Amino acid sequence: MNPSHPLASKALVALTLLGGLALILGGLVANLVPVAGAMALLPLVLVGVGILLQKPKLAFPTMLVLAFTASGIKKYVPAIPLGLSLGGILALALLAIWFHKRMAWQRDAPGRALMLATWVWMLYTALQIVNPEAHSFTAWFYAVRGVSLYPILTFAVALA
């Protein structure tokens, strides 16, 4: 990695490792006492939210770290509900980008056609709600979240 790159800082690597260890510790505590596990993770979550609000472009590395860490933790500590955390990080990054006035949307970005295609795909998947073969709205939401909602949020953060 280029040493001048903002993601190559030692502080970010240390924060990532500390966050992973805190998630593991919080997961173990949450398995024994759920409220204590949530309280143990609360400072880490608040610091992470503060960092993401200041630097929304860190949403991508945070998302990748959380995705792999969460899947590993869920294997050993099934009590932690981390399913919607990736969408929460993306929504938080979009909110932070919206609040930052110095970050202008790139209207003529190269990925604009791909974003439009993703919106068409989202419309198609939204129409699946009225599908007579559909079992429930909850099943539709959990299916659409990974195939349509996350790509739209990811492209919006990337194009910002």
Distance, CA of 44 to CA of 34 (rounded, Å):
16
Burial per residue of 60-77, b for 16 or more beta-carbon CB atoms within 10 angstroms, e otherwise: bebbebbeebbeebeeeb
Quick one: angle between helices 59-76 and 150-159, nearest 10?
150
Q: What is the pLDDT of residue 95?
A: 83
How confident is residue 152, by pLDDT bands cut at 50, 70 and 90? confident
DSSP string, 110-132: TTHHHHHHHHHHHHHHHHGGG-T
pTM of the entire predicted model: 0.60
How confident is residue 157, by pLDDT bands cut at 50, 70 and 90? confident
| Range of weakest confidence among 17-21, 44-48, 49-53, 140-144 | 17-21
pLDDT for 103-113, tens place per residue?
555 666 677 78
Token representation of residue 17: 């490792």
3-class SS at 106? Answer: coil
The domain spans of the chain are 1-103, 105-160
Asked if 30 and 38 touch (Cβ cutoff 8 Å), the reply is yes
Which H or E element spans position 23?
helix 10-32
Asked if 134 and 128 touch (Cβ cutoff 8 Å), the reply is yes
